[in-house]
Structure 1
């Protein structure tokens, strides 16, 4: 993994057709790279000039360059050499065995871009000849023969994430059951097993963000035990999401109105999740402002 470069990073994504360029480009985009697909090599220089005029707004650029550019692709090695002196530039080359590439093209029922009237294997052989020079000068070579799309995405994240960057973002959300379950959630917890502060007159107008309510909720039998156990149960889930390259999740915690118990629990759970490696935690209180 590499850290950020003050001059801005440039990554050329290339390789064999069917080896996973689209998957790699999508993973890079999820990491915050600005991705340009099917760019002619001659346009790399002007693209970088435009990004410099953007004043650092696009610090990481990935350009997908491949044989779809036909005769233009042959200039990629020379263009790459000329740009290495001016910018922090790397080349990612994706490869796979001939057998794997043939199977992939047959599975999607599409011809190889260099196939013409011949077989898929003929197109692969022509492409190997065209990409051999850039393959030899690549900074990162990934063989995707035995990788599925999720495993390849994970490899891209491992290679191109900034040091210390979060690999998974979890939103911990409070809500009120009487307003309905949130629609886009991965896990739901229910705090209605605890006494409701709403029925304590001096706390009815307060929320779980007030210290008096927080102390009351956490003092109830089973509250601390549940929060501790639930956070521990989430630890392998967060680790598994990272292994499977699931970038975002929502953990919803509900009570009757989404104002007292769930708000307290969300604060406590979020604090524990922040200690998990590779996890960024966001907090949302969906129904806190409702009457």
Structure 2
């Protein structure tokens, strides 16, 4: 299994690291008490499957957290695990600005200043920082840059790729609320009015051939293939992992289904991870 232990200073970006690991298919346990570190690792190992990539995020605020985090990591190694320890850090001045911007106190400052809490925490985490396999200084990283850094370290190329769902739907049933693009296929003649096609769907060859054979149908699909191809690098750069392209016709049975299948096929031909789904197929 792949086991990652994430720790670091409060305000350094542990939550962003946790979300980035989830993006690359890690099972993430946040705010885990140190005393449960070994138990959680053994549980994940026995579970296998989705837990074969597990990340455990340790927070100094846990009452079970002690000064011996480094010892707990050594215990993991002694039981045959090979954890990769990620330590998230930032300059004191940056941490102070981050806490002040959200008007939060440091979990260890007590009645003192923010700087006092940061100093206490650094003392508790000093040995763990020395043991870290990866130290990520987030002082000059924004959220997207930090996320990208983690995904580069722990996600394969497939895990970081944008996945496109081409979703057919019927306008009379309402717009899909999660659509990033909405395409309207109602400019094409409706196979519903062709008696021999009425009972068939856009997934069947005779309907697909009829729809795609109409004037403008193929250029319509090709134009959106070019558009989606042009936007994918930007979406990936901004951390988007799922894109929904909704294709609508009146009832979601003929035109939108045929167009969605063809669009998904052409996107796959362009080496994008794309699949077609049909929200309203079968509702009529």
Is TM (by shorter chain) over 0.5? yes
SS at match of 1:173: strand
Over 3 Å counting, the alpha-carbon distance change for 1:280 and 1:48 in structure 2 is: same
Is 1:253 matched up with 2:218?
no
Q: 2:104 aligns with which of 104, 110, 132?
A: 110
Query: Which 4+ stretches in 1 moved above 4 angstroms?
Result: none
Residue 70 (structure 1) shift = 6.0
Local SS of the residue matching 1:274: helix
Report the Cα distance in structure 2 between the residues aligned to 1:58 and 1:163, rounded to whole angstroms: 20
Matched, 1:165 2:159: yes
Length, aligned pairs only: 283
Q: Distance in 1 between matches of 2:8 and 2:94?
A: 14
Q: RMSD of the alignment, in Å?
A: 2.0
Distance 2:31 2:203 in 1: 51
Partners of 1:72 and 1:241 in 2: how far apart?
A: 38
Which consecutive residues of structure 2, in runs of 5 or more, have no partner in the other structure?
none
| TM-score, normalisation: structure 1 | 0.90
Rate the CA distance shift 1:23–1:155 in 2: closer, same or farther, 3 A: same
Paired position in structure 2 for 1:132: 126
| 1:166 Cα offset (Å) | 4.7
Match of 1:192 in 2: 186
Deviations 1:130-160 (Å, cap 9, x if unpaired)? 2222212211221111222233222222221
Structure 2 match to 1:4: none
**Alpha-carbon contact 1:40-1:73 (below 8 Å) kept:** no
How high is the TM-score relative to the length of structure 2? 0.92
Q: Work out whether 1:33 is the aligned partner of 2:26.
A: yes
Contact 1:66 1:73 in 2 (8 A): no
Residue of structure 1 in register with 2:280 after alignment: 287
Is 1:176 the counterpart of 2:179? The answer is: no
3-state DSSP of counterpart to 1:84: helix
- 1:236 corresponds to: 230
Q: In structure 2, how many angstroms separate the alpha carbons of the residues matched to 1:102 and 1:119? A: 10
Q: CA deviation at 1:275?
A: 4.4
Q: Which residue, out of 36, 48, 66, partners 2:41?
A: 48
